[in-house]
């Protein structure tokens, strides 16, 4: 689809790229960032690692019961900021969303007993207020569906300091929450159609899959 036809038909599209930690989201976005007329918004992980000299991501992994609420409050704010920023191209591809922050990561902390009930209640009130009062545009969710084992391998290879202590079981829990949300659709509201891309393959095969799905992604449609 050409830039002109997208603009003329007022077809501005917002696509979330979802998936487990180290499933390949950033790599996928880097690939599409080479395409003109696509705006790519990666996750603000650098902010989560450094807010005014503090590292809430690192603190959360060290002591989730104490610092989970701190990280997740900041994740929610920075995601909302990303969602509400003015689009600079007819297609926006954004890494994760305010939805996955809540439905996957906050949920996982709470279910695993690592977030006190009062912290979960306060975050939930914030989340519900935001999503009921502020329009968050989304046309399509692309789910990079990878096995927790693959993610574990890639995570070790990437070697982000804060994540060195993540065990396979953590990735399995995140995987299950993603599957319940986006595949089985049994846990939470899914705010847009879902396009599933299997993501265990090597890089070359993944690039091929991205090409095969390019038109759907540009059109913001899973059919
Ligand atoms: N298809 C792939 N095969 C092998 N390694 C990959 C593949 N895609 C990404 N990687 C590597 O795995 C690590 C995590 O990828 P990344 O794109 O950062 O994942 P995410 O953004 O989902 O956390 C990086 O080191 C990246 O180079
Ligand atoms: C959205 C979100 C993320 N995190 C953590 C999980 C990872 O350690 C990083 C994000 O890295 P990725 O390679 O982009 O998956 O942030 C979190 O703890 N809570 C969240 O809501």
What are the structural domains of the chain? 3-219 (3.40.50.300)
- Sorted by sequence, the CB contacts under 8 Å of residue 2 that are 6+ apart come out as none
The answer, yes or no, to whether residue 4 has pLDDT greater than 80, is no
CA 128 to ligand 2 center in whole angstroms: 21
ipTM over 0.95: yes
Q: Is 166 in the pocket of ligand 1 (CB under 6 A)?
A: no
Residue nearest to atom 12 of ligand 1 (CA): 154
Provide the pLDDT for residue 9.
56
Please report which ligand is nearest the Cα atom of 69.
2
Q: From the CA of 170, which ligand is nearest?
A: 2
- Provide the edge-to-edge strand list for the sheet that holds 38-41: 38-41, 91-95, 13-19, 140-145, 194-198
Ligand 2 pocket, residues with Cβ under 6 angstroms: 21-22, 25, 43, 45, 57, 60, 71-72, 75, 96, 101, 105, 163
Active site residues: 95
Mutate to test the pocket of ligand 1, among 18, 20, 22 (most ligand atoms within 8 A of CB): 22
The pTM of this model reads: 0.96
Share of the chain above pLDDT 70, in %: 96
Give 50-99 pLDDT, tens digit per residue: 999 999 999 999 999 999 999 999 999 999 999 999 999 999 999 999 99
Q: What confidence tens digit (pLDDT) does each residue in 129-176 have? A: 999 999 999 999 999 999 999 999 999 999 999 999 999 999 999 999
Contacts 24+ apart (CB under 8 A), 201-209: 203/27, 206/24, 206/27, 206/28, 207/31
**Three-state SS at 14:** strand
């Amino acid at each position: 689809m050409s830039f002109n036809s997208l603009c003329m038909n007022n077809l501005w599209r917002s696509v979330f790229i979802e998936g487990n930690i180290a499933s390949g989201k950033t790599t996928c976005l880097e690939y599409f960032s080479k395409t003109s007329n696509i705006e790519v918004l990666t996750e603000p992980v650098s902010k989560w690692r450094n807010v005014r000299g503090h590292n809430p991501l690192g603190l959360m992994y060290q002591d989730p019961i104490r610092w989970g609420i701190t990280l997740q409050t900041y994740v929610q704010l920075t995601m909302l900021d990303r969602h509400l920023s003015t689009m600079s191209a007819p297609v926006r591809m954004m890494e994760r969303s305010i939805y996955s922050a809540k439905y996957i990561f906050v949920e996982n902390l709470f279910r695993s007993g690592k977030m006190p009930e009062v912290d979960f209640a306060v975050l939930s009130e914030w989340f519900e207020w935001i999503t009921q009062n502020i329009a968050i545009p989304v046309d399509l969710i692309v789910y990079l569906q990878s096995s927790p084992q693959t993610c574990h391998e890639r995570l070790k290879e990437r070697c982000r300091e804060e994540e060195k202590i993540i065990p396979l079981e953590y990735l399995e829990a995140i995987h299950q929450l993603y599957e319940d949300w986006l595949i089985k659709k049994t846990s939470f509201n899914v705010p847009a159609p879902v396009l599933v891309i299997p993501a265990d393959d090597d890089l070359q095969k993944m690039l091929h899959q991205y090409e095969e799905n390019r038109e759907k992604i540009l059109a913001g449609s899973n059919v």
